[in-house]
Amino acid sequence: MNRVPSTAMVGVLFDKDGTLIDFDLTWGPAVRAMINTLAGGDAARVQAQADALHFSVEDSRFLATSPLVAGSTADYGRLWAEALGRSDFEALKREIDSLSAVESLKALTPIGEPAAVFGALRAMGLRLGVATNDSEQSARRQIEALGVGVHIEFVAGYDSGHGGKPGPGMGLAFARFLGAEPSQIVMVGDSQHDLDCARAAGAIAVAVLSGPAERDALEPHADFVVEHIGDLPKLLAGMMDG
């Protein structure tokens, strides 16, 4: 649709997994470790979790149908609990979030050079944030590990009180934080959840093709499509000049 801001662009809100970090290379090893920890050495419990999460333990890879690709612990946590035969969902959710915050750092793999991209966008006068269906704690740890914390003013996870994607809450919260209209912010992500969040909030939706989703699946829901975040400075400079 190539919709552009009606007034001056103020900020850019990034998804994390599949946008800033490589989803499979980061979360494949992390989820495998988490599954094994939660199974307590029981092979049947390992397989039950893998089946529920559409995850290949052998390859440390996610099927396209995996609820972990775009969801949050609030979404897939009950499936995980059922696979483990546990009814203490809230306690398990805390365990999953705590494990993910640690394990995801061990194989953290950035897409391109986020620090260089963020530096270029900041030089253009844009303010930056991250919105993810991961937990806020995990997101903040990963942002610091990537060395980009100095550029990020706003971080929202599914547990930050704004709701999860595809709802509009994170986008609206970022706009409020900046004192801007939603139409003055750009939201960048690799899934339909990200783009639906942007549209629902009234922000500009930019899809990146660095995650599991193909162009054909994302293009109908996006205002712009780019290969990866490295293409953003040029795109946004053109939008601001126009």
Q: What domain count does the chain have?
A: 2
Same domain? For 102 and 197 the reply is no
Same domain? For 146 and 48 the reply is no
Same domain? For 29 and 139 the reply is no
Same domain? For 125 and 228 the reply is yes
Same domain? For 192 and 145 the reply is yes
pLDDT of residue 216: 96
Phi, psi of 130 (to 5 degrees): -130, 135
pLDDT of residue 236: 96
- What is the C-alpha separation between 195 and 203, in angstroms, rounded? 9
Same domain? For 235 and 156 the reply is yes
Domain annotation covers residue 2: no
Task: Read off the pTM.
Answer: 0.88
Q: How many CB atoms are closer than 10 A to CB 216?
A: 7
Phi, psi of 37 (to 5 degrees): -65, -50
Q: What is the gyration radius of the CA atoms in the chain, in angstroms?
A: 18
Same domain? For 115 and 189 the reply is yes
Give pLDDT tens digits along the chain (242 positions).
Answer: 566 655 699 999 999 999 999 989 999 999 999 999 999 989 999 999 999 999 999 999 988 788 887 677 777 778 889 999 998 888 888 898 889 888 989 999 999 999 999 999 999 999 999 999 988 988 999 999 999 999 999 999 999 999 999 999 999 999 999 999 999 999 999 999 999 999 999 999 999 999 888 999 999 999 999 999 999 999 999 988 76
Beta strand 152-156 pairing with 185-189: unpaired
Q: How many CB atoms are closer than 10 A to CB 3?
A: 14
Domain annotation covers residue 226: yes
Same domain? For 171 and 207 the reply is yes
Last residue of a domain, one of 75, 106, 137: 106
From 86, 139, 106, select the one nearest 34 (Cα to Cα): 106
Q: Is 229 helix (H, G, I), strand (E, B) or coil?
A: helix
Last residue of a domain, one of 53, 72, 106: 106
Domain annotation covers residue 74: yes
Domain annotation covers residue 5: no
Same domain? For 128 and 208 the reply is yes
pLDDT of residue 119: 97
Domain annotation covers residue 1: no
Same domain? For 97 and 159 the reply is no
Last residue of a domain, one of 106, 123, 152: 106
Same domain? For 185 and 221 the reply is yes
- What is the C-alpha separation between 230 and 226, in angstroms, rounded? 9
Q: What is the CATH number of the domain that holds 215?
A: 3.40.50.1000
Domain span at 30: 24-106
Same domain? For 53 and 83 the reply is yes
